[in-house]
Amino acid sequence: MASPLSTISSPNYSIHIGDSSIELLSPFLKKNRFSKIFILVDENSLQHCLPQLVARVKKLSEAEIIELESGEKNKTIEVCTNVWRALGELGADRNSLLINLGGGVISDMGGFIASTFKRGIAFINIPTTLLAQIDASIGGKTGIDLDGLKNEIGVFTNPKELFIFTGFLRSLPRREMLSGFAEALKHGLIADVAYWEKLKSVNIADDVSWDEIILDSIHIKSEIVAADPFEAGRRKALNFGHTVGHALESFFLEGGEATLLHGEAVAAGMICEAWISNQLAGLQENELDDITHTLLQLYGSINVNMISDHRLIELMRHDKKNENGIIYFTLLDAIGKPVINKKVTAADIIEALNYYRTVSQQAMKS
């Protein structure tokens, strides 16, 4: 069944969702009269999404394509330099448009590239992964990793417009779908217990109404971002699961062999941070069990034997929520009720990691 078109107006731009969202691109391009159009892709969005996009928006057949190699390990300043250079060589000027067609790596990096090239050119996001449609392409955070530290360099900047077409998800591997689903689960945990309950009954292998889920998630995220765009306070709620999650992601990036997807890292991070919430905030034992059980069932457990607690805590010290060397967490007082700026000691973090090890070993045995 074709999904109807919905438009959400955030303070700075509009988000269009639905089967015909892409068709709105033609009038947008006509109205703005960009001097030149560039499309940033990786090999997967090039293969699976670009042909559909160009077939539906004829004007884009004239666009220059800039292709990057996929993966978090390429979210670096070196890759940005290559793109800035390519833009220059291909004749981009300040009236050009960059279209970010891809997952969160493309929208994070493309937004950063566009907002710094010649002091800033226009960009739009056409996210092609569940993670990017639900979360990464919205909210204005863009950037890159530095020496494996997640999103260490970046700027707050907004796309001119956002076009979400869930048809692109048809080619997305199941593991990537699950990775994106973790951010939706996080939205439920920090903002809406009814949404959390609803998501628990979703089987991503079924014929899921993704437009509906994406809309629910975007409403939650954009309401929080509108209230606190630069993360002075309330927006920190969106970081639940990410203090431990980002450290795990960096740890795996350093290791180089096994890949850990962003949502997988956040899912493990949410289990650890739910345990800390039970110790240091109001999260009840039965809610902790519910979160742990749900996430372990969906994500299994990551290989905990190789994880060095010491290195993880070192990585957490770089978290952008910290001040004066103290590690601050976003915790839960209850499902749907986040509490920000909670000081957590290294000893608490180690105990949380031990909790994760214990429950994942139990889950593997059962």
Ligand X SMILES: NC(=O)c1ccc[n+]([C@@H]2O[C@H](COP(=O)([O-])OP(=O)(O)OC[C@H]3O[C@@H](n4cnc5c(N)ncnc54)[C@H](O)[C@@H]3O)[C@@H](O)[C@H]2O)c1
Q: Tell me which residue of 364, 206, 356 sits closest to 300, measured CA to CA.
A: 364
Which residue stretch of 76-84, 89-97, 133-141, 267-275 sits at the interface with ligand X (rule: CB under 6 A)? Answer: 133-141
Among 60, 83, 136, 295, binds ligand X (CB under 6 A): 136
Contacts of 148 (CB under 8 A, 6+ apart): 250, 253, 254
245 lies in the site for ligand X, by CB under 6 A:
no
When the beta carbons of 169 and 295 are compared against ligand X, the nearer one is: 169
Query: How far is the first Cα of the chain from the last one, in angstroms, to the nearest whole number?
Result: 39
103 lies in the site for ligand X, by CB under 6 A:
yes
73 and 98 Cβ atoms separated by less than 8 Å: no
315 and 243 Cβ atoms separated by less than 8 Å: no
Burial class (CB in 10 A: 0-12, 13-18, 19+), 81: exposed
Contacts of 100 (CB under 8 A, 6+ apart): 40, 106, 107, 110, 111, 114, 123, 124, 125, 126, 127, 137, 159
When the beta carbons of 175 and 343 are compared against ligand X, the nearer one is: 175
225 lies in the site for ligand X, by CB under 6 A:
no
Give dist(CA 17, CA 355) in Å, integer.
40
Task: Indicate the SS3 state at residue 106.
Answer: helix
- Nearest approach in angstroms of CB 355 to ligand X is 25
Which residue stretch of 18-26, 38-46, 86-94, 336-344 sits at the interface with ligand X (rule: CB under 6 A)? Answer: 38-46
When the beta carbons of 102 and 359 are compared against ligand X, the nearer one is: 102
52 lies in the site for ligand X, by CB under 6 A:
no
44 lies in the site for ligand X, by CB under 6 A:
yes
Of residues 71-90, those binding ligand X (CB under 6 A): 71-72, 75
42 lies in the site for ligand X, by CB under 6 A:
yes
Of residues 171-200, those binding ligand X (CB under 6 A): 171-172, 176, 179
270 lies in the site for ligand X, by CB under 6 A:
no
Task: Indicate the SS3 state at residue 261.
Answer: coil
Note the residues at the interface with ligand X (CB under 6 A). Answer: 42, 44-45, 48-49, 70-72, 75, 102-106, 108, 128-129, 131-132, 135-136, 139, 141, 150-151, 168, 171-172, 176, 179, 262
